[in-house]
Amino acid sequence: MSAPTPQPHPAAATPPPAVPQTSVRRTTAPRTPDPRSVPSPGSPAPYESPIPIVRAHLGHALRAEWTKIRTVRSTLWTLGVFELLVVGVGLVFAATVGERMGRGDRVTLFAFPGLLLGTICLLTLGVLVISSEYGTGLVRPTLTAAPQRHRVLAAKFLVFSAISFVAVLVATGIVATAGAAFVPAGADLHWGGPALLASLYLSLLGVVALATGTMLRHSAGAIAAMLGVYFLPTVLPIFLVNIEATETLGRKVLEYSAPNALSLLLIPDQGGNGLPQLALLAVLTAAVAGCAFAVLHRRDV
């Protein structure tokens, strides 16, 4: 037997030639724009509101509060009852005692009884201007639309005080003008100055009522509180003057009560002209209004 022929060993696999390492720079492919954001030819232009964007200010709040007050039915009814009380009672009083008016007596005297009753209407309306919004929940969208709470409350104060001032001035002027037909010659027919002062006094009382409604946020409670503020200084001195230790205090409280101050403003005499009482009410109104601003800012709606 012949020896087997040796097979040649396969050649070792040669490694592939090395590829030179080159720095490869990565590039980001350009972003394709969203076809929905690119207006196609012939498509309508993007919507632009025709309402100009302006910065809110106090004038806008005043316009909003005026719209709310004049469109609420209770406002018209309350002011209507006020005018009927002042004018109706005043004319009846003028027809009854007009002939007994002396020389120098002012015709603004006829408006005094009606204003005593009509003040209750203004105090009630002042409370309802703010407390009704808390009762119905309207205060939430109001403060959402106008987050500056001090601006909203300031607008309420200004609008309501202006309405009260005009209402009192108109009613007093009607009574004084119509009552002049019942007085004898020699009576004082000038009513402008006293009517302006009385209107200012009652409008300040209305602002106190509005501030009280802001702090209490309850219609019945705030109205009861304001009726106490209005009547208590007149009733309390009846008991104080009968006690020797409190007689001086009782007389002073009666002097600065709202009915007495209103009578002095309408019919000035040797006892005073009502200006100290008006100044005291202005100071108290500023203090109560300041408390209302502080409470509105600190308290949740």
Beta bridge partners of 269: 272
CA distance 219 to 149: 20
Interval 190-223: pLDDT, tens: 888 899 999 999 999 999 999 999 999 889 999 9
- 2-48 pLDDT, tens per residue? 555 555 555 555 555 555 555 445 555 556 655 555 555 656 667 67
d(CA 122, CA 163): 10
3-class secondary structure, 78:
helix
Q: Which residues pair with 95 in a beta bridge?
A: none
> Is it the case that residue 104 has pLDDT exceeding 80?
no
- CA 113 vs CA 21, 137, 153, 180, 263: distances in Å: 109, 37, 32, 16, 9
Of 178, 193, 209, 197, the closest CA to residue 289 belongs to 209
Pick from 125, 143, 147: which is nearest to 72 by CA? 125
Q: Partners of 106 in the beta sheet?
A: 188
What residues have CB less than 8 Å from 295, skipping those under 6 apart?
A: 214, 215
User: Using one digit for the tens of pLDDT, what is the confidence trace for 280-297?
Assistant: 999 999 999 999 999 998
pLDDT (0 to 100) of residue 160 = 95
Instruction: Give residue 24's region: left, alpha or beta (phi > 0; psi -120 to 50).
Output: beta
Half-sphere exposure of 290 (CA within 13 A, CB side): 6
pLDDT of residue 120: 94
Is residue 91 classed as helix, strand or coil in its secondary structure? helix
Its pTM stands at: 0.79
Q: Which amino acid is at 191?
A: W
Q: Map residue 272 onto helix, strand or coil.
A: strand
pLDDT at 1: 47
* Residues in the chain, overall count: 301
